[in-house]
């Protein structure tokens, strides 16, 4: 249960920012970005969001720093643990944090929610999902920031999900137009992150009942995919492929179409094949897990090939378990072992194989 106390001082910035009054649909706190100029950019973002009446905006005068002495995954996990405590202290639902990059010319926004958002669901914001904004921040990006914030907030909000989903559907139309109007001078990586988070907004809308947003999500993710190559930006490319796979899975469920699942499997397999185990082990393993989960779904949708799909799924889980070690990542290991056991149980049932069971 969340703590009841709330530090009132966190509601006001040095520039006199007052928390927005609106917001039965959730609470968002904006922490100071790490690096030169980060406080000013955070003030700007907080004031931008405070004009939105569907959620409350709080300005948190603290900076969540990344420990550069450890690997990227570990530093993000450590920051997420610390940031989650800040969110709980303020009784918020979401925190926007991040850092200044490229000599202060890029503001990298990250979105951390209270509690884990369902992994693998369409539009889920993970630790790798960022919104990179050029500094000075160009006019017209407000809807992009708002759409990203709402998409990250919606799955975890303590307020009305329906009201926030309806409002997000309005904002994300403006966000899509804003992306189209971004000047060609805006760095390619920045455009990719903008497309990714707006794609997340469309995908999240699908998840919360807006089926018409599905085509928009696919279109936006594919636009991001067209701008990026696996060799140049392997992790960002893999993130786009993963989001595409998730929305294709949603499409398959809606239409009961195994071909859409095949397309999702191809995306996940492509990630595993491109990243390689040695260079990006955790992302490589996650791609195998995602692929295995879809293969298991295929086994239920195409009974005549169920054994083939289940065997392939089991092999994919086995690959991931070479990375998700019990000693180092016990929670992830337990999760994968559970799924692996379900697949083995299904295989044993099909073949009456007592050894497998």
pLDDT for res 286: 93
> Are 200 and 129 a contacting pair, CB within 8 Å?
yes
DSSP annotation of 226 reads H
**Interatomic CA distance for residues 180 and 104, integer angstroms:** 25
Dihedral angle sign, alpha carbons of residues 289, 291, 293, 296: negative
Instruction: Encode pLDDT of 22-47 as tens digits.
Output: 556 899 999 999 999 999 999 999 99
Residue with more model confidence, 5 or 202: 202
pTM exceeding 0.85: yes
pLDDT confidence band for 351 (50 / 70 / 90): low
pLDDT for res 49: 96
pLDDT for res 76: 87
**Interatomic CA distance for residues 87 and 92, integer angstroms:** 5
- Average pLDDT of the chain? 88
**Interatomic CA distance for residues 309 and 190, integer angstroms:** 39
pLDDT for res 180: 86
Token code pair at residue 209: 């009942």
Instruction: Encode pLDDT of 84-129 as tens digits.
Output: 999 999 889 999 999 999 899 999 999 999 765 566 799 999 989 9
Torsions phi, psi for 278 (to 5 deg): -75, -40
Q: Give the CA dihedral 160, 164, 169, 175, nearest 10 degrees.
A: -160
DSSP 7-39: -GGGG--TT-----S--BT-EEEEEEPBSTTHH
Q: Which strand ranges, in their side-by-side order, compose the sheet holding 130-134? A: 56-63, 27-32, 94-101, 106-113, 130-134
β-pair partners for 55: 24
Of the chain, the percentage scoring pLDDT greater than 90 comes to 69
pLDDT confidence band for 4 (50 / 70 / 90): very low
- Does pLDDT of 339 surpass 90? yes
- Does pLDDT of 138 surpass 60? yes
């Amino acid at each position: 249960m969340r703590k009841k106390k709330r530090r009132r001082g966190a509601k006001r910035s040095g520039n006199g920012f007052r928390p927005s009054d609106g917001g039965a649909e959730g609470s968002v706190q904006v922490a100071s970005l790490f690096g030169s100029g980060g406080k000013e950019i955070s003030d700007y973002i907080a004031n931008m969001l405070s004009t939105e009446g569907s959620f409350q905006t709080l300005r948190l005068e603290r900076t969540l720093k990344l420990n550069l002495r450890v690997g990227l995954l570990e530093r993000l996990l450590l920051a997420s643990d610390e940031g989650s405590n800040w969110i709980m202290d303020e009784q918020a639902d979401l925190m926007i944090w991040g850092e200044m990059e490229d000599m202060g010319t890029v503001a990298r926004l990250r979105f951390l929610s209270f509690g884990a958002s369902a992994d693998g669901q369409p539009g889920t914001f993970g630790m790798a999902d960022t919104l990179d904004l050029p500094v000075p921040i160009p006019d017209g990006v407000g809807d992009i920031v708002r759409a990203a914030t709402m998409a990250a907030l919606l799955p975890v909000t303590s307020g009305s999900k329906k009201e926030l989903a309806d409002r997000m559907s309005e904002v994300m139309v403006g966000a899509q137009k804003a992306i189209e109007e971004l000047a060609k001078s805006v760095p390619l990586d920045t455009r990719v992150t903008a497309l990714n988070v707006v794609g997340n907004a469309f995908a999240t809308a699908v998840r919360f009942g807006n089926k018409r947003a599905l085509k928009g999500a696919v279109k936006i993710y594919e636009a991001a995919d067209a701008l990026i190559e696996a060799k140049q930006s392997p992790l960002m490319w893999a993130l786009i492929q993963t989001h595409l796979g998730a929305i294709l899975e949603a499409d398959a469920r809606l239409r009961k179409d195994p071909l859409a699942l095949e397309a999702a499997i191809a995306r996940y397999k492509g990630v595993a094949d491109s990243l390689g185990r040695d260079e990006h082990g955790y992302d490589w393993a996650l791609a195998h897990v995602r692929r295995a989960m879809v293969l298991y779904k295929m086994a239920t949708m195409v009974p005549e090939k169920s054994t083939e799909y289940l065997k392939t799924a089991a092999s994919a889980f086995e690959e991931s378990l070479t990375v998700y070690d019990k000693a180092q990542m016990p929670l992830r290991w337990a999760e994968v072992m559970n799924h692996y056991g379900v697949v083995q149980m299904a295989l044993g049932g099909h073949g009456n194989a007592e050894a497998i069971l």
